[in-house]
Structure 1
């Protein structure tokens, strides 16, 4: 498959407003390399980058990289399996911490670029991160200047307690998959409890609902299209997230209902990109705008700004000032 970070870097100069959030498999990549790749993407896109952190416990994927061996999972509820998965998520938490520290390892004004003196950087404004943990040992600093956003967005998809903990400890956005509003309330409560336990109560954290959508102007046409797609595939549409089938107005009703249940936003997945993506932009968005719940202009230039997230202070600059 194609490299998501490289594709995002190619798309960045051709776009002005969209966020670019490639998926990164923390299990098989190095945080130093990913930190500079996403920092570079943030510079190229002038502040619209992020990453979605993913773990994998599949032995065949581990074999592709040859860096580690992961035991074959026989049953998801087996204690050995749960131990392996919990360890991978703990590793992902450390991974994000290393990435974030590296983004902060350059102060915002570390670049001098003084041709007369030949000084490119102020060495006093570059910092070692000195991270040592059970999974990584990284001294730093990064080789890439601090990103325009300070900290590009970190997100993760979560279906259960262990990934909820990763979201609460390390992410700016968690994607969740509730099937009804009661489940949405329960998931949000669990993530907020984990956030408090991690000492992050004061930090903003969005919880977005993930939803696959099949949209048509007529609900019957949407159902018929889904039935036709299921028949062609020989099985019902497979998804880890709920699948919505209906009209843009019906979808707007559902989104607002789930928003009242505590979700702060949504990540919509078009079931068929060529049909359902235009249905979102040309059908759902105008419907939400009519209801006064969707922007009519871009109020910020960065992804953090569009999500209502502040630009974080540099942890090392603050320490020096203190």
Structure 2
């Protein structure tokens, strides 16, 4: 049964599992999978839409996508959105890895498209020098594009799994993508079936200019770091205009204000609820991505104090009405671009 909140425009909440500065340290918390499981389950208890986990070639530590793949079987509803760097990586492998996360989470995966900017990071691979931001984001947009095409390269019913005939897949329902970008080409099809969501949710930090065109063209979610509602509202309006100019339905691009939070008391948490409620009522953001100073402390206060206030104001749901991240966000499952339209016999 689908339940509509009192608000005509649902409010979405996401929480970053990163601790600022922890990437530079070595310690047990960095490598403790249970740490992330506990946080994700707490966020799920508060019916948050999803959690994010950052990643970068510039620091030691575990791979964010692999960490959230470990979290997936220990959670049941919360969306899982790791950062995935598109620079110096193979687009085919990126597509397969994100697809796999969608399968192991049963349709709760997303990914934040990220680029690698520094020469030190480029030196780790030794294949090419660091490129300007515009070129990096142009390539990132192409990776997002080809990933979506690879996810569509299997039709939803391509798998046969007929033991009697020995046929696993209907080859007529697999498609070459034949994509050629500025720095790579991919023929396809994918080696994994189409994801449960059709396409996992794509997020982009669109705070900086070079990333905004990628967000407008390919993202389901755009994060904007804003300290005031005027900045957030202007960014949302710009991104929606860009999406519309590219032929997209701007309502399919959700703009999240990405806010730093540091909660020491229930009073702080209630104040955060008031801020979120006011910004949302004013229409400056579709959701909020909260970046904590201390994830354990701040998430507990968020779930215990901020969330109930928002629920009391009829801005936030009390439970998940669906099972997938797209359902949490009110986004439809995309049609497969390669599947022919088949007439249904009457």
Q: Does TM, normalized by the shorter one, top 0.5?
A: yes
2:289 maps to 267
Which structure's residues are more often helix, by fraction?
Answer: 1
1:258 maps to 279
SS at match of 1:129: coil
Work out the CA distance in 2 between the residues paired with 1:93 and 1:290.
Answer: 40
1:294 maps to 316
Work out the CA distance in 1 between the residues paired with 2:129 and 2:288.
Answer: 36
How far is the alpha carbon of 1:56 from its aligned partner?
2.1
2:81 corresponds to 1:21: yes
1:228 maps to none
Work out the CA distance in 2 between the residues paired with 1:215 and 1:95.
Answer: 37
1:278 maps to 300
Matches of residues 65-76 of structure 1 in structure 2 within 5 Å?
A: 65-70=125-130
Task: Map Cα deviations across residues 12-49 of structure 1 (whole Å, 9 max, x no partner).
Answer: 11100111111111112111001111111111110001
1:126 maps to 174
2:341 corresponds to 1:312: no
SS at match of 2:291: strand
Work out the CA distance in 2 between the residues paired with 1:169 and 1:274.
Answer: 35
Q: Which has the higher contact order (CA 8 A, sep 6+)?
A: 2
How far is the alpha carbon of 1:178 from its aligned partner?
1.6
Contact 2:81 2:112 in 1 (8 A): yes
TM-score (norm 1): 0.84
Work out the CA distance in 2 between the residues paired with 1:62 and 1:203.
Answer: 37
Matches of residues 129-148 of structure 1 in structure 2 within 5 Å?
A: 129-148=177-196
Work out the CA distance in 2 between the residues paired with 1:23 and 1:67.
Answer: 22
CA RMSD of aligned residues (A): 1.5
Change (3 A) 1:56 1:320: farther
Compare CA radii of gyration and give the structure with the larger one. Answer: 1
How far is the alpha carbon of 1:274 from its aligned partner?
2.2
Task: Map Cα deviations across residues 186-209 of structure 1 (whole Å, 9 max, x no partner).
Answer: 111211121122221366010001
Change (3 A) 1:313 1:282: same
Change (3 A) 1:44 1:134: same
Q: Which sections of structure 2, spanning at least 5 residues, go unmatched?
A: 1-60
Change (3 A) 1:30 1:306: same
Matches of residues 209-220 of structure 1 in structure 2 within 5 Å?
A: 209-217=257-265
Q: How many positions carry a matched residue from both structures?
A: 282
2:162 maps to 114
SS at match of 2:265: coil
Contact 2:240 2:250 in 1 (8 A): no
SS at match of 1:316: coil
Name the stretch that deviates more: 187-196 or 94-103. Answer: 187-196
